Amino acid sequence: MNGGEKVNRERSHGSIQTSRAIIVMTLLFIVGFASGYYTDTLFSSQTVVWKEDVAWRTESISISGSTTVLPIANACAIAFMNKYPGTSITVTGGGSGRGYSEVIDGVVDIGMASRPPKQKEINDAKEKGVALWLYPIALDAVCVVVHPSVNKTLKLTLQEVGKIFAGIYTRWSDVDPSLPDEPIYVVVREPGSGTRGTFEEYVMEPYGYDVTDAAHVRPSNPAVRTTIETTPYSIGYVGLGFVTSKMVVVALAEEEGEPYIYPSIENIASFKYPISRYLYLVTSTRPESGSLADRFIDFILSPEGQEIVEEQGFLKLPRYPAGV
Amino acid sequence: MHLRSQPIEFVLFLCASFSVVILLLMLLFVVMEGSLAFTRLGTQLILGQMWKTNSDLYGGFPLIYGSLMVVSGALLISIPLGICTSIFIAEILPFQLRDPIKSVIELLASIPSVIYGFIGVTFLAPLIASIFGLQSGATAFTASLILAIMVLPTIVGVSGETISAVPIEYKEAALALGASKWQTIRNVILPLSKSGMLASVMLGFGRAIGETVAVLMVAGNVAMVPTPPWNYLAPVYPVTAVIAMQMGEAAVGSLEYSALFGLGLILFIITFAVNTIADVIVRRRPVGRSVQL
């Protein structure tokens, strides 16, 4: 009994020492912070800078959305952060649908989209009391691509492509007797993808087609690219920046009898290629002038940013955008 | 003494109840979000054959079938492999080698599932495509193989534990009676650790059915029941892959959103049932019963 009490007393003694240590540490912390703050104000008072010019230099923004726009935004973010150390820009994918929904919900500052907003998304924005601002930042084309095993030069009309993706043609020989007598391996993107949205708007919806059940769903442009590269007799669609030499780009014609057009730079810029589109950055309100979001968008639209757009395999805006 | 220990007990109680509360909240959340799908679609969500987001058709049967198919394929491979491995490690391997080999197998569990997915996409899928002469190696079989490797550590670990839990006296008695090593394993060790092994399989099932990333990368993702239904060389679209693929895009509160939660709830129920069964089996301690040789 006695021994136990003794131990008890010793322990409580120990705890007093601990609490003293904690108090001392807290005091040290406070003093440290205070002195840091003091010296900080001391130094900054010596250099005169405009107030609105410093705020954005330490801000951080997040961007999410279309995986087509992702490489552009990512490369621009890296270039921007190298130019202005102290800023922080986080870029994640997820698809155009996610870009719009997260901008509307205020989860991210800027969304990326490879299609204009759907009516549903516009309504959602209205309900939340925000207005979507779209900034076209680049030109792109949805390229229909096939594995080289199909043919080295393939020409199709939009309706033929639609029939392939709708599962009306199931073998390549159904499309044209000169093509191999092999089943068509159809690769599509997940619902909500901007690339899928654009593709279906031009190729499926005008003919009332619906994507076949037998289509293989892939979650991103790179995943479609890998699948097309490695799967014989496959067909899929990717953004222009994701075309590689291991796949064959299909020349498309609006209708039978019209010229077959490849997604070359001139053809996309002149909108001759049937599935040409703009890529967008989206904000939920007009970003405050001088804020980081505002400056980042300006950066992508600047000659320097448009250079990066080209490096990533997309097309600069046809004319320097004055109206946006 | 008593006074001082009370706050600590309270903190411990808070920590312990934390996970229980989280579980209940999650269940509540999933049920609430999925309720729209269950009221609007009813059994269609489980039995419907068509999963087409464009036309608002949410029939989960091909997806649930795909999940169960991939998981049963994985277990068919990993059960014999895992149980033989655990018997070998516990009974036949020299004592000094047991721990190193065990930790090597446990290392399998610490590999991130994306890595399994990478290996599946870049190595296993092309290999399977060339072996079976397929267009693409992204099939249910590939996903099963990858999952089998992923659940192996669970099965080996848990059944290994139960084998080592068999009292040494039983083994000694059997050996003293003149039983060979194999007879001892077959007639003493296996019957005694049967329930533990079953539990390990159930835990492996839970791990496998919830796996997302690796499966999404190699399963092929076609929302159709393969023809014929036992064709493992056809692509499938497991539930977890669908949820991961579409969740980011689904508008909050839409039928699609709710249907995805409904699918999640179905997965939850399946896993929960299996884990509960495993739990009940593990609790029925086998050791201590008499053994018939």
B24-80 pLDDT per residue, tens: 999 999 999 899 888 888 888 888 888 888 778 898 999 999 999 999 999 999 999
Is-contact B138 B210, C-beta < 8 A? no
CA distance A103 to chain B (A): 13
> How large is the average pLDDT for residues B121-125?
90
Can you state the percent helix, strand and coil of chain A, rounding each to 5? 45, 20, 35
Distance CA B136, CA A57 (A): 49
For residue B218, pLDDT beyond 60? yes
Q: What is the pLDDT of residue A40?
A: 52
Across chain A, the runs of DSSP E, i.e. the strands, are: 60-65, 88-94, 110-113, 133-146, 155-157, 185-189, 216-218, 234-239, 248-249, 251-253, 276-283
Cα A271–A274–A114 angle (5° rounding)? Answer: 80
Preceding omega of B228 cis (within 30 degrees of 0): yes
CB contact (8 A) between residue B251 and residue A230: no
Cα separations in angstroms, B266 against A304, B51, B132, B229 = 51, 16, 34, 21
Residue B90: its H or E element: none
Q: What is the mean pLDDT of residues A122-150?
A: 90
Contact call for A216 and B221, based on CB within 8 A: yes
If pLDDT is split at 50, 70 and 90, which confidence band does A321 have? very low
pLDDT computed for residue A255 by the predictor: 86
- How far from the centroid of its chain's Cα atoms is residue A182's Cα? 35
What's the token pair of residue A290? 């001088």
pLDDT of A161:
94
For residue B212, report the phi and psi dihedrals to the nearest 5 degrees.
Answer: -115, -60
- The confidence score (pLDDT) of residue A50 equals 53
Minimum-distance CB partner of B135 among A8, A185, A193: A185
Q: pLDDT by residue (tens digit) across B144-179? A: 999 999 999 999 988 888 888 888 898 889 889 998
Kindly identify which residue of chain B lies nearest to residue A200, measuring between CA atoms: B54
| Closest listed residue to residue A300, CA positions, set A30, A118, A78, A40 | A78
Cα separation, A197 vs A210, in Å, equals 12
Task: Confirm or reject contact between B222 and chain A (CB < 8 A).
Answer: yes
Instruction: Give the model's pLDDT for residue A213.
Output: 87
pLDDT score recorded for residue A10: 47
Q: Once rounded to an integer, what is the mean pLDDT over residues A257-283? A: 88
Tell me how close the Cα of A66 comes to any Cα of chain B, in angstroms. 10
Residues of A in contact with B246 (CB under 8 A): 190-192
Q: What is the CA radius of gyration of chain B?
A: 23
For A75-91, the pLDDT digits (tens) are 999 999 998 888 899 99
- Give the pLDDT score at A195: 84
Instruction: Please indicate whether, in this complex, the C-beta atoms of B135 and A234 are within 8 angstroms of each other.
Output: yes
pLDDT at A2: 46
A151-188 confidence digits (pLDDT tens)? 888 999 999 999 999 999 999 999 989 999 999 999 99
Measured CA to CA, the distance from residue B43 to residue B120 in angstroms comes to: 34
The pLDDT assigned to A3 comes to 44
Give the percent of chain B with pLDDT over 70.
94
* Residue B192: closest CA among B166, B164, B159: B166
CA distance B264 to chain A (A): 18
Cβ atoms of A73 and A63 within 8 Å: the answer is yes
Task: Count interface pairs A-B at CB distance under 8 A.
Answer: 79
CB-based contact (8 Å) between B213 and chain A?
A: no
Tokens of A226: 């890998």
Please state the rounded mean pLDDT for residues A2-10: 46
- Note the pLDDT of residue A4: 44
Please tell me which residue, B103 or A39, carries the higher pLDDT value: B103
Average pLDDT, chain B: 87
Q: Which domains does chain A have, with CATH numbers?
A: 3-8+141-269 (3.40.190.10), 14-138+278-311 (3.40.190.10)
Between CA A122 and CA B255 the distance in angstroms is 18
Domains and CATH numbers, chain B: 3-283 (1.10.3720.10)
Please state the φ and ψ torsions of residue A184, each to the nearest 5 degrees. Answer: -85, 130
Residue B252 pLDDT: 73
Residue B238: strand, helix, or coil = coil
Residue A6 has pLDDT above 70, yes or no: no
Testing the interface with B: which of A200, A217, A225, A226 to mutate, by most B Cβ within 10 A? Answer: A217
| Chain B residues touching A117 at Cβ < 8 A | none
For range B96-112, the mean pLDDT: 89
Q: Per-residue confidence at B136, pLDDT binned at 50, 70, 90?
A: confident
Q: How far apart are CA B60 and CA B241, in angstroms?
A: 12
CA-to-CA separations, A77 to A93, A157, A179, A269, A278, in angstroms, rounded: 14, 38, 45, 25, 20
| For residues B254-262, average pLDDT | 89
Tell me, yes or no, if B121 comes closer than 8 A to chain A by beta carbon: yes
pLDDT of residue B16 exceeding 70: yes
Residue A93 DSSP class: E
Of B135, B223, B249, the CB nearest to A98: B249
| Cβ-contact A124, A97 below 8 angstroms | no
User: Which of the two residues, A236 and A310, has the higher pLDDT score?
Assistant: A236
Q: Is the pLDDT of residue A277 over 70?
A: yes
Residue in A192, A200, A231 nearest the CB of B135: A231
User: Between chains, do B136 and A227 touch, taking CB under 8 Å as contact?
Assistant: yes
- Which whole number is the average pLDDT over B188-193? 87
Q: How confident is residue A48, by pLDDT bands cut at 50, 70 and 90?
A: low
The residue in chain B having the minimum alpha-carbon distance to the alpha carbon of residue A222 is: B217
Residue A260 has pLDDT above 60, yes or no: yes
